[in-house]
Amino acid sequence: MSPAIRKLLPYVNRYRRAFVLGFVCVVSTTTFQLLGPWVLKYAIDDLYRGVTQRKLILYAGLLVGVSLVRGLFLFLMRRIIIAASRDIEYDIRNDFFRRLEQQPLGYYQARRTGDLMSRATNDLNAVRMMIGPAVMYSASTILVFLVAIVLMVSIDLRLTLIALIPLPFVTISVRYFGTAIHKRFEQIQAQLSEVSAVVQEALSGVRVVRAYRQEAHETERFSRANQEYLRRNRVLIRLQGAFFPSMTLFLGFGSMLVLWLGSRDVIHGKITLGEFVAFNGYLVMLAWPMIAFGWVTNMLQRGLASWGRMLEVLEHQPAISDAGVTAAGRGAALDGAVEFHHLTFTYPGADRPVLADVSLRIEPGQTVAFVGGTGSGKSTLINLLPRMHEPPPGTVTIGGVDIREIPLERLRGAIGFVPQEPFLFSDTIGDNVAFGDRKKDTKEAKDTKERVSAAAAVARLDKDIADFPRGFETMVGERGITLSGGQKQRTALARAVMVDPKILILDDALSAVDTYTEEEILSRLRGVMRARTSILVSHRISTVRDADQIFVLDDGRVAERGTHAQLVGRDGLYAAMYKKQLLEEELQAS
Amino acid sequence: MSLHDDDVVGKAYDARLMRRLLEYLRPYSAPAALALAAIIANSMLQLAQPYLMKVAIDRYIPAGDLSGVNRIALWYVLILLTGFCLEFTQTWLLQNTGQRIMFDMRMQIYRHLQRLDLRFYDRNPVGRLMTRVTTDVDVINDLFTSGVVSVFGDVFTLAGIMIVMLTMNWKLALVAFAVLPLIVVVTQWFRRNVRESYRTVRRLIARINAYLQEHITGMPTVQLFRREARAFERFEAINQEHRVANVESIFYYAVFYPAIEIVGALAAALTIWYGGRSVLAGTLTLGSLVAFLLYSQRFFRPISDMSEKFNILQAAMASSERIFKLLDEPVSIESPAGTAKPSRRSATSEGTEREGGHIVFDHVWFAYNPTEAGEPDYVLRDVSFEVKPGERVGIVGATGAGKSTLINLLLRFYDVTRGRILVDGVDVREMDLAALRSLFSLVLQDVHLFTGTIAENIRLGAAEITDDRVRAAATAVHADAFVSRLPGAYAAPVAERGATLSVGQKQLLSFARALAFDPRILVLDEATSSVDTETEILIRDALHVLMSGRTTIAIAHRLSTIQDMDKILVLHKARLREMGTHQELLALRGLYYKLYQLQYKDQEGKDTKEAKDTKELTKELTKELLGSQNLP
């Protein structure tokens, strides 16, 4: 058994009762299915010899009775096995989501959302088809096949062997066509992505195409790709066109042989007419398993490949976890004293560090600011604090304890983070503000509304809310109101304030807010964040000028540090930035 | 109206859509008719097998007629072979026609996309449009290959069986048909319920995917706010709903299939009972009874098949609705009727004196969303200026000041809301679109490259641009040097979106493209992205080559590029605020002056050497870098 399948067993095991019951149903339904022709056999033989009408009613009743019982088991079989496969799908999907929740930022940066989505949808579906329908059909076809042959042999061995003559042809051609069709199919899929690529290119470059009047040329290019797609499809059609009729042909030859030689046997008295009819009935039943064989193996193969792709996600151990937690970390006073000790940080796979030998200390209750150009390492630095990326051991401490020793839950609970491009969920504004709220589940929950309002007021979101038709109940996103950049940022700020953090981090979080409102927000924040630590990252001098300490980062190093007054006097990077912004303000005002 | 309703679960059958779909079949009416004939013939042939059985049982077996049995076997072989041919013909013709229709449909959609204006593209993301061209069309293909058409076959089989049974023994046939109302009831029940539960399942799977997609994208936020447990709870709740809905739909299927079988068995039982009595009474032969039993077996298979086709039909209807909606999207920017298409300028015009290239913006107002209620959000307000032939004009202004919009209007990607734009004295709306655009070469910030060779990316589809001209253009803008170093030089393949080329190299290629088309007017949106100093110098020099002797309109981000331009326009908050030469504008001490200072500071901070005297330095370095290459 392949290791991949072994990893599927725990899921299946949970529903083993269903599967055992399901197999009992498969066996029963198959048995009763095979009884049908047997009843016919007696009926025909009796009719041939002449029989009473009472017996006819018995046979008719038997036929209905057998099919009723078979129907019941057929119903149960589908109900039990397919439902179990849905249960397993449910379990796997939950595990998939739970695993994704454990993966750190780096995991998502290295992968495309579309790829993860396709595993959660297409692959999961293929896996479900494998454990549901594929298992059910293969069990029932194998059974039908075996039992029908036994019954056929009991009628006549020679005739059975003759009837089975097409079998090798069927199997061989299923395999031959199966492989060939699969190959063509892949070629078609490849050409389809080629077609998509041409469309994508032409549509995303629509301005160039139009400006250089290339509409006809692009149409020609598309036409060529489309032609090739057509051509490959026609090759497949030829194969498919030959495949299904040849199945009919092979199976038909079987029937023909039985009809021909069987009638001769009846004439010679080797078998009865009833046996002859029953034999034909079984032959019809055999046709399906012979064809289904190829179909089911295909389903199994696809399911297995998909399961492998799902395992890649399910078994990927998260790079950032609570593995290093210590007693000291559990008990550490997260008072907001943050320290970086000779921190050098390189992204996995990169050849240059983004941060080089950064050492600094933030006292509890201080407001500090980081400034610097794009790529200077500001964002990386503050993302290390809530361990969105993993700092090297011992380089980042809070309250004197290495953050890697603090449980993630505790660490992140102490931090309110407002990212540069805030991500809001398609939910009400109120729920978005209360996103990180933990008091919801406790007895303090009743004042949630007030606390949401208070947090919104700090972020100056209150005025906007008042303008929304449904206030805090207004939906955000596709089916609701589309927020402006500034409104989004302020919602994200309110969300961070709401968790009542020991450390508040603003990653250039007010860039889309006008300076006047920003001033208001900062002054309100000062009230809320008294005795707590605030970390600001900004391009704007106006945002950082009142900070207790300002760090200027340049190419991953702390180039300058001090207060606004000190730095302006120094005539370095900070002073240059300051002058430039004064000019810009002037320009904006004109 | 945007094509947003990706999740439409439409009706299973819509006569209006179906009629329109059938229009596509028209060019292929001959093969389609042939395929239909093959289907009908094949379903008739299917009826022969039970009949042969009957003949064998009635006539030859009781009589012990071995040669009769042989004849029957021979007939059987003949029928099999004919059936094989018919089925092959039918599959081949049908699928082929389906594929050709798909081809036509794709071409039609694509051609339409090539005509729709940019406003449409603003509203519809490329991904969605791609789905129309690829997936949606494929779904309709299912309709032809396995959906509707095989239903035809099923219907004929059913009708044929009924006719044969009625002719063999109408009384027994009617007794067997007594179960038909039951079939109707079961099928109706199934269809009604399955449609409902199919919708529910579709809706829930869409919700699961939306939730998943949202949380994969927003996972960092979830983690920062320690929402993992609650996010999971909600996911589990939707997942659970989905499971329940699915188990419900399993119920309908689980009932339907056995029910149809039981009804079938009922028919067989009636046949045995009533037919058996007839056999005993001598009014029916035993062979007919057996044939009846075989026929009724074949009777119920198509019925359960047909119910399965239901989903295919439903999906195809939804897809065709989306496709038709796209095709019905009106084309708003077109060449006016009656403008003669001017003959293309000959390829030999290179080097000759270019004439024309006179541009006038006459009180132009523009908003991207003019139809919305209230005061439109104008991106340009009352902008007027003139560019004389051969003049070089720079446009400066902050992001969002409306600079790119000027270009979009000039090339008529959009039509002005108010006012007019004249090129060589003619309103652009009155010119043939191709003629208008052939006056320009457009160089955009983000260089768009196509998969193909370097040469193909320079000449695009213009076959009249010879290899020599491609090379000459590339050489003139200093692209030849790096192109020659590529394996295969001009025949070197460009990877998707030019991934293997540097930003600067892509810039130079786009210059070569612009030059190769030798336009009267050059329209340039200068790239903002920073490149290394060497490339910067090459680009700057290439720009000079490109602009020489042409009317040029350049959106400039570096003021150094446009200092020596004939005229500089300063756009600020949708209005044209200042206009003049570099010196005039500096003297004005207005917006331009401030912008200039800002840039100057920027450069000072970055590279003092460069800021000192850019021009001098550029010349020096250019010489040094280009070495042997001839400087214009």
| pLDDT higher than 60, residue A541 | yes
Judge: A83–B250 Cβ closer than 8 Å, yes or no: yes
Instruction: State whether the Cα torsion B611-B614-B618-B621 is positive or negative.
Output: negative
Q: Name the minimum distance, in Å, from the CA of A358 to any CA of chain B.
A: 23
Judge: B96–A234 Cβ closer than 8 Å, yes or no: yes
Cβ-Cβ contacts under 8 Å, B107 against chain A: 219, 222-223, 226
Cβ-Cβ contacts under 8 Å, A205 against chain B: 448, 450
Q: Is B493 part of the contact surface with chain A (CB cutoff 8 Å)?
A: no
Tokens of B116: 């729709």
Sequence-ordered list of residues with C-beta below 8 angstroms from that of A505, at least 6 positions apart, any chain: A382, A385, A386, A415, A416, A417, A418, A496, A534, A535, A537
Cβ contact A141:A18 at 8 Å: no
Q: Which of A50-59, A386-395, B123-132, B417-426 has the lowest mean pLDDT?
A: B123-132
| pLDDT higher than 80, residue B526 | no
| pLDDT higher than 80, residue B535 | no
Judge: B96–A259 Cβ closer than 8 Å, yes or no: no
| pLDDT higher than 50, residue B619 | yes
Taking a contact as any Cβ pair under 8 Å apart, which residues of chain B between 116 and 135 contact chain A? 118, 121, 126, 129-130, 133-134
Cβ-Cβ contacts under 8 Å, A104 against chain B: 223
- Residue A579 binned pLDDT confidence (cut-offs 50, 70, 90): confident
Q: What is B284-336 written as a DSSP string?
A: S-HHHHHHHHHHHHHHHHHHHHHHHHHHHHHHHHHHHHHHHHHHTS---S-PP
Tokens of B57: 């049982």
pLDDT of residue B349: 41
pLDDT of residue B608: 42
Cβ contact A26:A77 at 8 Å: yes
pLDDT of residue A343: 94
Q: Which of A98, A200, A214 sits opposite B232 (nearest CB)?
A: A98
Cβ-Cβ contacts under 8 Å, A573 against chain B: 605
pLDDT of residue A506: 92
DSSP SS3 for B441: strand
In CATH, what number does A329-589 get? 3.40.50.300
Q: How far is CA A188 from CA A195, A199, A232, A233, A235, in A?
A: 10, 16, 6, 6, 10
Superfamily of domain B355-439+553-626: P-loop containing nucleotide triphosphate hydrolases (3.40.50.300)
B91-136 per-position pLDDT tens digit: 888 888 888 998 999 999 999 988 888 888 877 777 778 878 887 8
Give, as one character, the DSSP assignment of residue B343: P
Residue type, A410: R
Dmax (CA) for chain B in angstroms is: 121
Phi, psi angle pair for A504, to nearest 5°: -110, 130
Please give the average per-residue pLDDT across B582-592, as a whole number. Answer: 84
| B160 CB neighbour count, 10 Å cutoff | 18
Cβ contact B390:B407 at 8 Å: no
Q: Which of A129-133, A363-367, A513-517, B266-270 has the lowest mean pLDDT?
A: A513-517
Cβ contact B361:B348 at 8 Å: no
Q: What is A294-345 written as a DSSP string?
A: HHHHHHHHHHHHHHHHHHHHHT---SS-STT--HHHHH----S-EEEEEEEE
Q: Which of A397, A401, A391 lies closest to A328, judged by CA?
A: A401
Q: How far is CA A197 from CA A191, A205, B6, in A?
A: 10, 12, 21
Judge: A64–B266 Cβ closer than 8 Å, yes or no: yes
Judge: A64–B265 Cβ closer than 8 Å, yes or no: yes
pLDDT of residue A99: 94
Mean pLDDT of chain B: 80
- Residue whose structure tokens are 């990927």: A316
Which of the given ranges, A285-299, A510-524, B412-426, has the highest pLDDT on average? Answer: B412-426
DSSP SS3 for A187: helix
Distance (Å, rounded) from C-alpha A378 to C-alpha A354?
9
Beta-strand relationship, A415-418 and A367-371 = unpaired
Q: Which of A195, A219, A436 sits opposite B111 (nearest CB)?
A: A219
B492-508 per-position pLDDT tens digit: 888 766 666 777 788 88
- Residue whose structure tokens are 């508040």: A504
Sequence-ordered list of residues with C-beta below 8 angstroms from that of A380, at least 6 positions apart, any chain: A345, A347, A354, A355, A389
Its CATH class, for the domain covering A1-156+283-319, is mainly alpha
Tokens of A586: 């002037």
Judge: A583–B601 Cβ closer than 8 Å, yes or no: yes
Judge: A227–B81 Cβ closer than 8 Å, yes or no: no
Please name the residue of chain A whose CA is at the shortest distance from the CA of residue B91.
A241
Three-state secondary structure string covering B80-108? HHHHHHHHHHHHHHHHHHHHHHHHHHHHH
Compute the residue count for chain A: 590
Task: Outline which parts of chain A fall under CATH 1.20.1560.10.
Answer: 1-156+283-319
Element (H, E) at A507: strand A503-507
pLDDT of residue B13: 65
pLDDT of residue A562: 93
Judge: A83–B121 Cβ closer than 8 Å, yes or no: no
Judge: A67–B232 Cβ closer than 8 Å, yes or no: no
Q: What is A76-139 written as a DSSP string?
A: HHIIIIIHHHHHHHHHHHHHHHHHHHH--HHHHHTS-HHHHHHIIIIIHHHHHHIIIIIHHHHH
Q: Is B626 part of the contact surface with chain A (CB cutoff 8 Å)?
A: no
Distance (Å, rounded) from C-alpha B190 to C-alpha B256?
6
Q: Name the minimum distance, in Å, from the CA of A282 to any CA of chain B.
A: 12
Please give the average per-residue pLDDT across B598-611, as a whole number. Answer: 50
pLDDT of residue B390: 86
DSSP SS3 for B436: helix
Judge: B280–A386 Cβ closer than 8 Å, yes or no: no
Q: Is B207 part of the contact surface with chain A (CB cutoff 8 Å)?
A: no
Interface mutation vs chain A, best among B226, B301, B305, B507, most A CBs within 10 Å: B226
Its CATH class, for the domain covering B11-168, is mainly alpha
Distance (Å, rounded) from C-alpha B536 to C-alpha B528?
11
Q: Which of A62-66, B115-119, B556-560 has the lowest mean pLDDT?
A: B556-560
| pLDDT higher than 70, residue A294 | no
Q: Which of B150, B170, B148, B158 lies closest to B44, judged by CA?
A: B158
Q: Which of B56, B130, B209 sits opposite A196 (nearest CB)?
A: B130
| pLDDT higher than 70, residue B1 | no
Strands lying side by side in the sheet with A355-362: A355-362, A338-345, A396-398, A401-402
- Residue A478 binned pLDDT confidence (cut-offs 50, 70, 90): low
Quote the distance between the C-alpha of residue A282 and its chain's center.
Answer: 45
| pLDDT higher than 70, residue A64 | yes
Phi, psi angle pair for A156, to nearest 5°: -165, 120
Q: What is the CA radius of gyration of chain A?
A: 36
pLDDT of residue B628: 41
- Residue B147 binned pLDDT confidence (cut-offs 50, 70, 90): low
Q: Is B215 part of the contact surface with chain A (CB cutoff 8 Å)?
A: yes
pLDDT of residue B607: 44
Tokens of B527: 């790239």
pLDDT of residue B343: 43
pLDDT of residue A69: 95
Q: Name the minimum distance, in Å, from the CA of A22 to any CA of chain B.
A: 13
| pLDDT higher than 80, residue B616 | no
pLDDT of residue B558: 66
Please give the average per-residue pLDDT across B306-326, as a whole number. Answer: 80
Quote the distance between the C-alpha of residue A473 and its chain's center.
Answer: 29
Judge: B73–A256 Cβ closer than 8 Å, yes or no: yes
- Residue whose structure tokens are 């010879």: B466
Tokens of A498: 């709401």
Q: What angle do CA B273, B279, B285 make, to 5 degrees?
A: 125
Judge: A116–B216 Cβ closer than 8 Å, yes or no: yes
B340-388 per-position pLDDT tens digit: 554 444 333 444 445 678 889 999 898 877 665 566 778 888 989 998 8
> Number of residue pairs across A and B with CB atoms under 8 Å?
361
Cβ-Cβ contacts under 8 Å, B76 against chain A: 252, 255-256, 259-260
- Residue with the bigger pLDDT between B172 and B316: it is B172
Cβ-Cβ contacts under 8 Å, A102 against chain B: 228
Distance (Å, rounded) from C-alpha B291 to C-alpha B176?
13
Interface mutation vs chain A, best among B100, B221, B433, most A CBs within 10 Å: B221
Q: Which of A28-42, A135-149, A162-176, B296-310 has the lowest mean pLDDT?
A: B296-310
Give, as one character, the DSSP assignment of residue B354: P
- Residue A224 binned pLDDT confidence (cut-offs 50, 70, 90): very high
B181-191 per-position pLDDT tens digit: 998 898 889 88
Mean pLDDT of chain A: 86
- Residue whose structure tokens are 């953090």: A501
Give, as one character, the DSSP assignment of residue B184: H
- Residue with the bigger pLDDT between A336 and B409: it is B409
Cβ contact B544:B515 at 8 Å: no
pLDDT of residue B604: 47
Domain ranges of chain B: 11-168, 170-283, 355-439+553-626
| pLDDT higher than 70, residue B602 | no
pLDDT of residue A101: 92
Q: Which of A208, A221, A435 sits opposite B227 (nearest CB)?
A: A435
Q: Which of A63, A238, A586 sits opposite B268 (nearest CB)?
A: A63
| pLDDT higher than 60, residue A542 | yes
Residue type, A80: I
| pLDDT higher than 50, residue B627 | no
- Residue B308 binned pLDDT confidence (cut-offs 50, 70, 90): low
A233-289 per-position pLDDT tens digit: 889 888 888 888 888 888 888 888 888 888 888 888 888 888 888 888 888 788 777
- Residue B574 binned pLDDT confidence (cut-offs 50, 70, 90): confident
The end-to-end CA distance of chain B, in Å, is 52
Q: Which of B538, B554, B536, B552 lies closest to B479, judged by CA?
A: B538
Please give the average per-residue pLDDT across A346-374, as a whole number. Answer: 87
Please give the average per-residue pLDDT across A172-196, as a whole number. Answer: 81
Please give the average per-residue pLDDT across B594-607, as a whole number. Answer: 61
Task: Outline which parts of chain A fall under CATH 3.40.50.300.
Answer: 329-589
